[in-house]
Amino acid sequence: MIVDSAPAFDVRDYLRLEMMPHFLCPGCGHGIALRALLWAIHELGIDKDKLAVVSGIGCAGRLSAYIDANTFHVTHGRPLAYATGLALARPDLHVVVITGDGDCLAIGGNHLIHACRRNLKLTCLMLNNEVYGMTGGQVSPTTSESRLTTTTPLGNSEPNFDACALAAAAGASFVGREVTHHVPKLKELIRAGLEHPGFAFVEVLSDCTEIFGRKNELGSSAEMVLRQKSELRPSAYRDTVDTPFRSNDLPTGILTKTERPEYGMAYRKAAAAQRANTAARASAGVNERKA
């Protein structure tokens, strides 16, 4: 598996080395997702000075601190709202949001659906590990049915969110999902999201090995990574496999891609038209007075 830009890409060029090693647990999938993001950024040649990463609270939210860019670790659930302000005020910046399943879908759910609707150019990377890891392993909106968490001692009986279906239904013009096991594919997906001229929602299926994995006896870190391969059906198989591997099977790859006007661009265009109109009326007023 030698991938084109892999030899040239050294993830350390994009890390704050003084902050390493990062604070994530052994085997945590978020580190793999972070690599894929930085790899995609490398391939696109995005200037680190022009890269702004906004992240929320939780394990995923902590990732921004390790990225050598303009990074903003904001309040719980709100990174999309902060990023909306930042991206509208600074259209020259490349704004990426890193958020978790709880951050994005529970406390920040309202911001997600409206970001999808608004279609401002942002790339939202939601790292879904099915659990509130930072707080010790409570049930999250994406926890699978019957999974044990510290707040579902009898097994989770709440239905979970399909985040991508939610984003698509809310109007997101780019929606994709990938597992951390497929790093080059994940990189390609994030890259497509970064290139998308509008709001891009990318869900990364990541592993919480130390808390969720242990609690549910999902095996070692390596076993959990491998399980992604056996239990999740890539979308390419959708038409050929009759029975899903598990009941809440999640398709991967680019799931939605539509063209809609980018909000920032549309706003600036309307504002320019308003200014031209005002100027025209002002000069007309001057002429009237002269006549």
Partner 1 sequence: MSRPTASTSSIEGEPLRPTASAAKAREPMNVLIVGVGGQGVIMVSKALASLAQSKGYQVKQSEVHGMAKRGGTVFSHVRFGPQVWSPTIPKGEADILVALEWAEGLRWLPFLKAETGIFICDTKRIVPPFACLNRRPGAPLRYSRETPAEVRAHVAEGYAIDATRMAEELGNERAANVVLIGALSTALEFSAADWEQALAQFVPKKTIAVNLDAFRLGRNWIEEERTAVDDAEAPLAHIPAPAAAPYNVRLEITPAWCKSCDICVKLCPERCLRLNQERIVELAQPEKCTGCRLCELLCPDFAIRVHLDAVAKEVAAMPGAKA
Partner 2 sequence: MNAADKALSPKAAVHLISGNHACALGAIAAGCRFFAGYPITPSSEVAERLSRMLPEVGGVFVQMEDEIASIAAVIGASMGGVKALTATSGPGFSLKQENIGYAAGAEIPCVIVNVMRGGPSTGMPTRPAQGDIMQARWGSHGDYPIIALAPASVREIYDETIRAFDLAETYRTPVVLLYDQVIAQLTETVDLGDTEGLMRAERKWASGPREAYQPYASGDDGIPAMSRPGAGYRVHTTGLNHAENGFPTQNPEAVARNLGRLLAKFDRHHDTIDSWQTLSCDDAEVLIVAIGISARAAARALDIARARGVRAGLFRPITLWPFPEKALREAAAKARAVLVPEMNAGQLSLEVERILGGKRVDAIHRYNGDPITPAEIAQRAEALAKEKK
Chain residues binding partner 2 by CB under 8 A are 16, 19, 48-50, 52, 54, 64-65, 68-75, 78, 81-90, 92-93, 110-111, 113-114, 267, 270-271, 274-275, 278, 281-282, 285
The minimum distance between CB 180 and partner 1, in angstroms, equals 8
Chain residues 187-226 in contact with partner 1, contact rule CB under 8 A: 209, 220-223, 225-226
The minimum distance between CB 68 and partner 2, in angstroms, equals 6
The minimum distance between CB 135 and partner 1, in angstroms, equals 20
Q: Indicate which of partner 1, partner 2, none lies near residue 233 (CB less than 5 to 8 Å, by partner kind).
A: none
Q: Which tokens is 1 given? A: 């598996």
50 binds partner 1 (CB under 8 A): no
Q: Indicate which of partner 1, partner 2, none lies near residue 276 (CB less than 5 to 8 Å, by partner kind).
A: none
Distance CA 49, CA 234 (A): 35
8 binds partner 1 (CB under 8 A): no
Instruction: With contacts defined by CB under 8 A, name the span among 24-32, 78-86, 113-121, 230-238 that binds partner 1.
Output: 24-32
DSSP 22: P
Q: Indicate which of partner 1, partner 2, none lies near residue 29 (CB less than 5 to 8 Å, by partner kind).
A: partner 1
Q: Which of 5, 6, 145, 246 forms a contact with partner 1 (CB under 8 A)? A: 6
Residues binding partner 1: number (CB under 8 A): 33
Sign of the CA dihedral running 98, 101, 102, 105? positive
Complex with partner 2: residue 87 or 183, whichever CB lies closer: 87
Q: Indicate which of partner 1, partner 2, none lies near residue 159 (CB less than 5 to 8 Å, by partner kind).
A: none
The minimum distance between CB 253 and partner 2, in angstroms, equals 29
State which H helix or E strand residue 53 sits in.
strand 51-55
Contact between 145 and 139 (Cβ < 8 Å): no
Radius of gyration, alpha carbons of the chain: 21
DSSP 162: -
Distance CA 6, CA 8 (A): 5
Token look-up 């809440």 returns: 248
Peptide bond connecting 21 to the previous residue in cis, omega within 30 degrees of 0: yes
Contact between 125 and 98 (Cβ < 8 Å): yes
Contact between 129 and 207 (Cβ < 8 Å): yes
Distance CA 27, CA 32 (A): 9
Instruction: With contacts defined by CB under 8 A, name the span among 18-26, 80-88, 142-150, 273-281 that binds partner 1.
Output: 18-26
Distance CA 247, CA 203 (A): 19
Distance CA 8, CA 208 (A): 30
Complex with partner 2: residue 74 or 255, whichever CB lies closer: 74
Positions in the binding site for partner 1 (CB under 8 A): 1-3, 6-7, 10-12, 15, 20-22, 24-32, 35, 180-181, 183-184, 209, 220-223, 225-226
